[in-house]
Amino acid sequence: MDLFRPELEALAAYHTPQVPGADKLNENEWPEDLPDGFKQKLAHLLTVQIPGNRYPPSAPDSLRNRIAEYCGVNPEMVSFGNGSDELIRSVIMATCLGNGGTVLTVEPTFSMYRILSQTLGVPCVVLERNEEDFSLDLDQIRRAVASAGVRVLFLANPNSPTGTLLDEEVLLALLALPVLVVLDEAYHEFSGYSAVPLLAKYPNLIVLRTFSKAFRLASFRVGYAIARPEAALTLEKVRLPYNLSALSQLAATLALEHKQELLAGIPALLDQRDRVARALADTGQFRLWPSATNFIYARPFSRSSEDVRLALAERGTLVRATGGGLRISAGTPTQNDRLLAHLRELFRLGSALAEV
């Protein structure tokens, strides 16, 4: 008896490697934990403010107000996800589920756009970015939109894994298409760019953000969408009633209260990113792209990315091999030192072996 949709059989459950003690440069998290004082305050608020037996507020209005203030929009333009991953799924449900609509995305990019379409049984057209600079082919996108019943286009901006930003001119051309354009700004705090001001002109835009990266709250699972009020209300309708735990709401609210302290470390982290990028370029072994994020994307010239990933993992540094390259998060200075030492060792070994 087939109890489940047969197409799910071909999919694998999503897992990331858990290697205790390893340097985790594979998920673009902030490399250090929240400050002690922040966690103590959060624990205190949990104790005195949150009745564990009660459901959390189903409409997290104090968090909504703070996010609205942070983004410079009205509170009715905000919706929430248990991580922005959940909002990606909500957008697909709200646009394509049950009506034959198609998702469009352009790889290499964040894999969840495709994976969540597949798990919902929604068709997903996957185009490819230009190999040289990871730019988009507008004509190809226009053709796909015209022919494939596309209702929503997902783009990460800056993109993961490539770290690259879209030209605003290209973005405006995309917003002129008759589809919903979802810009995933998970790395906004690093890039400094946001499409939020374009919402005034384009009702077919949704901006997704997360507390998982620059705000260091990956463990608490809080994402949000900024959209025109009608669109935000639609996302609120498909949102599960208590998708954000009381602790998650509290953590995100507190993070915005402490945003100056939390975000103050960004320039130093980006300096670390640039140091690693320069060191990689100096080996002459990698092709690199400019990064507007907290990670770098590098393609080894002479070895497969997967080989390099494995060799680094054996030495205690986790990076991601994806899209034919390595995505390496900026870590602490010590983690980056170890990464570079491993790479030097690895590529010396590599050239010594080549000479044999």
Ligand X SMILES: *Cc1c(COP(=O)(O)O)cnc(C)c1O
* Member of 186, 255, 292, 330 binding ligand X (CB under 6 A): 186
- The minimum distance between CB 178 and ligand X, in angstroms, equals 25
Quick one: 23 or 184, whose CB is closer to ligand X? 184
Tell me which residue has its CB nearest to ligand X. Answer: 83
Report how far residue 327's alpha carbon sits from residue 339's, in angstroms, rounded to the nearest whole number: 13
Q: How far is the CB of 48 from ligand X (least distance, A)?
A: 27
212 binds ligand X (CB under 6 A): yes
Report angle CA 16, 290, 330 to the nearest 5 degrees: 40
Q: Does 249 bind ligand X (CB under 6 A)?
A: no
Continuous H helices in 96-212: 112-120, 138-147, 168-175, 188-191
Q: Which is nearer to ligand X, 110 or 134 (CB)?
A: 110
Of residues 218 through 247, those in contact with ligand X by CB under 6 A are 218, 223
Distance CA 303, CA 347 (A): 10
Q: Does 30 contact ligand X by CB under 6 A?
A: no
Q: Is 191 in the site for ligand X (CB under 6 A)?
A: no
Going by C-alpha positions, the residue among 245, 239, 252, 319 that lies closest to residue 280 is: 319
Three-class DSSP category at 236? helix
Report the alpha-carbon distance of residue 238 to residue 11 in Å, rounded: 25
CB of 88 to ligand X, least distance (A): 7
| Nearest CA among 235, 208, 189 for reference residue 83 | 208
Give φ, ψ of 303 to 5 degrees.
Answer: -135, 160
The amino acid at 27: E
- Total of residues contacting ligand X (CB under 6 A): 14
- Could you say whether residue 184 binds ligand X (CB under 6 A)? yes
The site map against ligand X for 126-165 (x = CB under 6 A) is ------------------------------x---x-----
Strands of the chain (E only): list them. Answer: 23-24, 78-81, 102-107, 124-128, 150-156, 180-184, 205-210, 223-227, 286-288, 295-300, 317-318, 320-322, 325-329
Q: How far apart are CA 110 and CA 112, in angstroms?
A: 6
83 lies in the binding site for ligand X (CB under 6 A): yes
Q: How far apart, in whole angstroms, are the C-alpha atoms of residue 4 and residue 261? A: 48
Query: How far from the centroid of its chain's Cα atoms is residue 135's Cα?
Result: 18
Stretch that binds ligand X, among 63-71, 83-91, 199-207, 247-255 (CB under 6 A): 83-91
Q: Which residues of 196-227 are buried (b: 16+ CB within 10 A; e: fewer)?
A: bebbeebebbbbbbbbbbbbbbbebbbbbbbb
Interface map 327-346 toward ligand X (x if CB under 6 A): --------------------
Q: Which one of 191, 204, 210, 234 is in contact with ligand X (CB under 6 A)? A: 210
Nearer to ligand X, 104 or 346 (CB): 104
Q: Which phi and psi (to 5°) does residue 124 adopt? A: -130, 120
Residues of this chain, 10-29, that bind ligand X according to CB under 6 A: 28
Quick check: 117 binds ligand X (CB under 6 A)?
no
Among 42, 66, 85, 326, binds ligand X (CB under 6 A): 85
Provide the minimum distance between the beta carbon of 217 and ligand X in the complex, in angstroms, as a whole number.
9
Which listed residue (84, 117, 294, 305) binds ligand X by CB under 6 A?
Answer: 84
CB of 306 to ligand X, least distance (A): 20
| Tokens matching residue 164 | 């690259």
Smallest distance, ligand X to C-beta of residue 7, A: 24
Alpha carbon distance 21, 344 (integer Å): 21
CB of 295 to ligand X, least distance (A): 9
Span of 78-86, 114-122, 324-332, 338-346 interacting with ligand X by CB under 6 A: 78-86
> Nearer Cβ to ligand X, position 160 or 317?
160
Site residues (vs ligand X, CB under 6 A): 28, 83-85, 110, 156, 160, 184, 186, 210, 212-213, 218, 223
